[in-house]
Amino acid sequence: MSELDLDELAGELADFAPAKKKQATYTPREERIIAGFEDIERFYEEHSRLPQHGEGLDIFERLYAVRLDRLRALEDCRALLASFDKHGLLDRAEVSTPDELDTDDLMAELEGLGGGGDITQLRHVRSAVDKRAADEIANRDKCADFEKFELLFKQVQAELASGTRATRPFELKAEIRPGAFFIVGGQTAYVAEMGVIYTNPQGRTDARLRVIFDNRTESNMLMRSLQRALHADEAGRRITDPVAGPLFADKAEDGESETGTIYVLRSKSDHPVVAEHREVMHKIGVTSGTVESRIAGAEKSSTYLLSGVEVVTTYKVYGVNCRQLEALIHKVFLPAQINLSIPDRFGNTVKPREWFLVPLNVIDEAVQRIRDGSITGCLYDPASATLRKA
């Protein structure tokens, strides 16, 4: 057998090699369109439904919905995506109200379909509700009777400087109430009045407020507008009520030793009851040690629902009996004690007793009433979500 040159051998075998499949090539614009459609397909596979329009939905879902509408409307996009549309999303007809997005922002988001930008990159697009909230904060009138509130602002600033008041991150809409102070947009805001609470078309509670600002302006804004502005402002804060006396002071008086801390916790459990009521379901307790040591190992304790917890707020207490104080707080909120049964680590059914369905602002009020002694005879009324005399 004669020896073949390697090049000759390769040439002989080439005739028997399978033909290579020609790989499709796409322009940068087509690649962006395909990538954008694949995002929509992944959403469909994860949620078993098409992305929907709607102000209350996640911004990514809303943009996927807008993108899908646009892809359906462009014949060249439909032709390009025909081989990728394994779920038939381009031809599926579902009734949906178009999203109310700003035209300029929407065009910027969809410019990838026209050859510029990157359709796979979702920018922050504000809805009409977000814009209205920003407008209500920005558009203010001169406060004609500011002299009625001027001393309040000066007092608040003095109390912040002395430590009688403090600032805390804003969390819940329930914290917005008449008499409350906030910091938003770098200015101190005072909720002077609140109108009748009603349910808006989206099924959420709202009310018209009269908010006075320390720059002598005011705004007749909605409660949800103030809520949105505080959440959007990284420096947005709520200002606590003033501390009265050494019982709740930030430091002990001379010769007085610290007794403990009232703590309010929120569970991170994925239990259905907890997930449904997470924002108003709180564990309230009093400890003579540190809160950190108290909640250490929460994931292994049925008292903490065998899950991690978040410290919502704390109040330092001095010269009191922690056990008696905790019993008093639990007695006040007894009507809101949640009846929840869970298995412990050994499979035994336990019923944690220190969890209550109470808004944070009512807990703040209870602490204030303990300070001034008006808590005597008070009970929490779940129907009105208020403290009332028994």
Q: What is the dihedral of CA 95, 101, 102, 108, to 10 degrees?
A: -90
The SS3 assignment for 218 reads strand
Q: What is the mean pLDDT of the chain?
A: 78
Q: Provide, for the chain, the percentages of residues in helix, strand and coil under a 3-state DSSP scheme, each rounded to the nearest 5.
A: 40, 20, 40
Beta strands 237-239 and 281-287, pairing class: unpaired
Instruction: Average the pLDDT over each of 2-6, 183-187, 366-370 and give the range with the smallest value.
Output: 2-6
What does the pLDDT read at residue 116? 43
More confident position, 16 or 178: 178
SS (H, E, C) 327-365: HHHHHHCHHHECCCCEECCCCCEECCCCEEECCHHHHHH
Judge whether residue 134 has pLDDT over 50: yes
Per DSSP, the three-state class of 103 is helix
Q: Which of 303, 312, 308 has its CA nearest to residue 353? A: 303
Quick one: tokens of 66? 């807008």
Return the minimum-mean-pLDDT range out of 36-50, 109-123, 179-193, 248-262. Answer: 109-123
Residue range 16-55, pLDDT digits in tens: 555 555 556 888 888 889 988 988 988 888 888 888 887 6
* Angstrom distance (rounded) from CA 244 to CA 240: 12
Of 189, 112, 177, which Cα lies nearest the Cα of 149? 189
Checking if the pLDDT of 12 tops 70, the result is no
Integer Cα distance of 228 and 245 in angstroms:
34
**Residue 171 scores a pLDDT above 60:** yes
- pLDDT over 50 at 382, yes or no: yes
Task: Evaluate if pTM is beyond 0.85.
Answer: no
pLDDT band at 140 (very low <50, low <70, confident <90, very high): confident
Note the pLDDT of residue 181: 95
Q: What are phi and psi of 69, to 5 degrees?
A: -60, -40
Q: Which of 39-48, 164-173, 354-363, 364-373 has the highest mean pLDDT?
A: 354-363
Structural Rg of the chain based on CA atoms: 30
Q: Which pLDDT score, from 0 to 100, does residue 123 have?
A: 46
% of residues, the chain, pLDDT over 70:
74
Residue 384, CA distances (Å) to 4, 354, 369 in order: 96, 21, 18
In this structure, what token pair is assigned to residue 205? 């509670």
| 109 vs 262: CA distance, rounded Å | 48
Nearest-angstrom CA–CA distance, 271 and 24? 49
Q: Which two tokens stand for residue 86?
A: 């394994």
Mean pLDDT, residues 1-25 = 56
**Residue 302, token pair as written in the block:** 């049925």
Query: What distance, in Å, lies between the first and last C-alpha atoms of the chain?
Result: 111
Please check whether residue 242 is in contact with residue 367, taking contact to mean a CB–CB distance below 8 angstroms.
no
Contacts of 1 (CB under 8 A, 6+ apart): none
Give the lowest-confidence range in 144-158, 179-193, 307-321. 307-321
Confidence of residue 128 (pLDDT cuts 50, 70, 90): low
Residue 173, CB-side half-sphere exposure with 13 Å CA sphere: 13
Cα separation, 263 vs 2, in Å, equals: 92
For 140, 143, 287, the CA distances from 192, given in Å and listed in that order, are: 15, 12, 36
Q: What is the pLDDT of residue 104?
A: 46
Whether 368 shows a pLDDT value over 50: the answer reads yes
Would the pLDDT of 58 be above 60? yes
**pLDDT for the residue 251:** 54
Calculate ∠ Cα 260-263-266, nearest 5°: 160
